[in-house]
């Protein structure tokens, strides 16, 4: 369930309240990804972001894993389903900065404006997904919710704009997409040819058995 307009008010905590919450958070951590409070009141920690991208991304690299097509020094490929990335950020980092850091970590050449960060949380046995505004602070949300990802997790998606805004993509990106589609079409066509060739062989073998004299 997507709740686009849901917004939780940002409660400004005192330094002592932040310290207490961080101590409570760290006591519940099971993966050693603890938070650290600095003398200036800024705290740092880790968030995990699940990549749920439907379209291929363009990276500035000559070697990439997955289904890909090459154009000069750029490669377009699909990220594996369920890919999760861990980022070390501070309490001052905004959603927009987190998105930019994620793309930089993957060497993604796409415009960060094409992507949005969502929070996914459980309430009353239901799962809610809410798009975060660019100015929200993911580490604050992580601190308030605690370290359990089933209570709160982060998801990176493309902007949900209905139809794809192809004019937002560069010519090399579009050419890469076409190469990927051509490759997938040829792969699927070859699979179908192999399947029907095997089916045809079995039918011919069965017919020879039926028509065999005696």
Q: What is the pLDDT of residue 165?
A: 59
pLDDT at 200 over 80: yes
CATH of 15-60+71-161, one of 3.30.70.1560, 3.10.20.90, 3.40.190.10, 1.10.357.10: 3.10.20.90
Q: Which residues share a beta bridge with 152?
A: 121
This prediction's pTM = 0.65
C-alpha closest to that of 82 among 165, 161, 156 = 156
Q: What is the pLDDT of residue 11?
A: 64
Q: What is the pLDDT of residues 39-52, one digit of tens each?
A: 988 999 999 999 88
Q: What is the pLDDT of residues 52-100, one digit of tens each?
A: 888 777 787 544 444 444 445 667 777 777 788 899 999 999 999 999 9
């Amino acid at each position: 369930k997507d709740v686009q307009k849901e917004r939780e008010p940002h409660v400004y905590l005192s330094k002592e309240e932040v310290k207490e919450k961080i101590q409570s958070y760290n006591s519940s951590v099971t993966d050693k990804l603890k938070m650290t409070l600095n003398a200036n009141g800024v705290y740092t920690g880790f968030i995990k972001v699940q990549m749920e991208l439907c379209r291929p991304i363009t990276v500035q690299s000559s070697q990439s894993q997955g289904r890909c097509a090459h154009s000069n020094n750029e490669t377009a490929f699909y990220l594996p389903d369920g890919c999760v990335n861990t980022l070390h950020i501070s309490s001052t980092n905004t959603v927009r900065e987190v998105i930019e850091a994620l793309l930089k970590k993957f060497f993604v050449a796409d415009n960060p404006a094409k992507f949005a960060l969502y929070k996914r949380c459980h309430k009353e046995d239901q799962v809610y997904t809410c798009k975060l505004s660019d100015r929200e602070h993911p580490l604050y949300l992580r601190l308030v919710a605690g370290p359990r990802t089933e209570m709160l997790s982060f998801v990176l998606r493309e902007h949900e704009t209905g139809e794809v805004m192809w004019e937002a993509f560069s010519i090399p990106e579009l050419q890469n997409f076409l190469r990927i589609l051509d490759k997938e079409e040829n792969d699927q066509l070859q699979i179908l040819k192999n399947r029907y060739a095997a089916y045809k062989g079995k039918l011919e073998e069965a017919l020879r058995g039926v028509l065999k004299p005696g």
